[in-house]
Chains A and B, each alone.
Chain A
């Protein structure tokens, strides 16, 4: 558990004007049958080998305190070994 790969996405129900704009643009390129486009952020946090404690808990705390805004965003963490 060295590198945390974090996806931050706007919650369902929160307007995503970037996603909507990309959706429209894809349709104007001729792509049909798109149900929706949502745009989020991708963040990598690499922990030092000697970082103490529960690494997953630590990165979750980082997500809640800074990397995401829990009012409007959800996050998911995936670990690279």
Chain B
């Protein structure tokens, strides 16, 4: 299987994603420069984290109108899996592939720490390898991760099982106290309506090997591989 990793000026998690799928999981991987996006041969895409275009105007706003996004939208429409991580999530929101928007963290700080995530739906293209695992731990690293959508949209996301991950404590409880950034309903990751595009603020590519203390991120990429095969 071949993963394409879309690179914008200012992306900085692109090489981590490459390492994760290529060296840890033994899949094919290729960088795709945003200005001349050739997605031929890619089975899945990763829109990595970072600070595309310096976060000018709004995080992800400039990247969302780059040539790559036209191609990514068509790629999503054809039913292929796409994961947007951190700034990648913000880009998928700004481009309209996913509903809602990100605002500044409630305490205005850039937060870099491990979080526990409750897995709300283990029957998606990104969680089919989770089996009974209902709780994972992944790090977050962002300043604009407070998810916002209007009440109607939130109801739709909930009703359709499209909230995939929620910030929780180590027992899996979800409350205001376990919400690091002010995200509505503790949302950490959501799916598009068709279920083939995921946006998530936590970084699975940083939790791929026991040597770094945590392998929970593997499950997400392994699920994508399962979904494609």
Shortest beta-carbon distance, A73 to chain B, in Å?
Answer: 8
Most buried by B among A18, A65, A71: A71
Stretch of A9-17, A26-34, A47-55 with 4 or more beta carbons under 8 angstroms from chain B: A9-17
Q: How far is the CA of A15 from the CA of B145 in the complex (A)?
A: 13
Contact B182 A66 (CB under 8 A): no
Contact B57 A17 (CB under 8 A): no
Contact A18 B104 (CB under 8 A): yes
Would you call A59 an interface residue if the criterion is a C-beta within 8 Å of the partner chain's C-beta atoms?
no
B97-109 vs A: 1/0 string, CB under 8 Å? Answer: 0011101111110
Contact B103 A14 (CB under 8 A): yes
Contact A71 B65 (CB under 8 A): no
B77-94 vs A: 1/0 string, CB under 8 Å? Answer: 000000000000000011
Supposing A15-B182, A66-B57 touch, asked if A72 and B103 sit within 8 A by C-beta, the answer is: yes
Shortest beta-carbon distance, B73 to chain A, in Å?
Answer: 15
Would you call B31 an interface residue if the criterion is a C-beta within 8 Å of the partner chain's C-beta atoms?
no
Contact A65 B65 (CB under 8 A): yes
Q: How far is the CA of A65 from the CA of B103 in the complex (A)?
A: 18
The number of residues on chain B lying at the interface, defined by a beta carbon within 8 Å of a beta carbon of chain A, is 20
Would you call A37 an interface residue if the criterion is a C-beta within 8 Å of the partner chain's C-beta atoms?
no
Partner of A66, one of B65, B93, B101, B146: B65
Contact B94 A69 (CB under 8 A): yes
- Chain B residues within an 8 Å CB radius of A18: 104, 108
* A-B pairs with beta carbons under 8 Å apart, 21 shown: A15-B146, A15-B148, A16-B103, A17-B103, A17-B105, A17-B106, A17-B108, A18-B104, A18-B108, A21-B108, A65-B65, A66-B57, A66-B61, A67-B57, A69-B58, A69-B61, A71-B99, A71-B101, A71-B148, A71-B150, A72-B148
B interface list, Cβ under 8 A from A: 57-58, 61, 65, 93-94, 99-101, 103-108, 146, 148-150, 182
A interface list, Cβ under 8 A from B: 10, 14-18, 21, 65-67, 69, 71-72
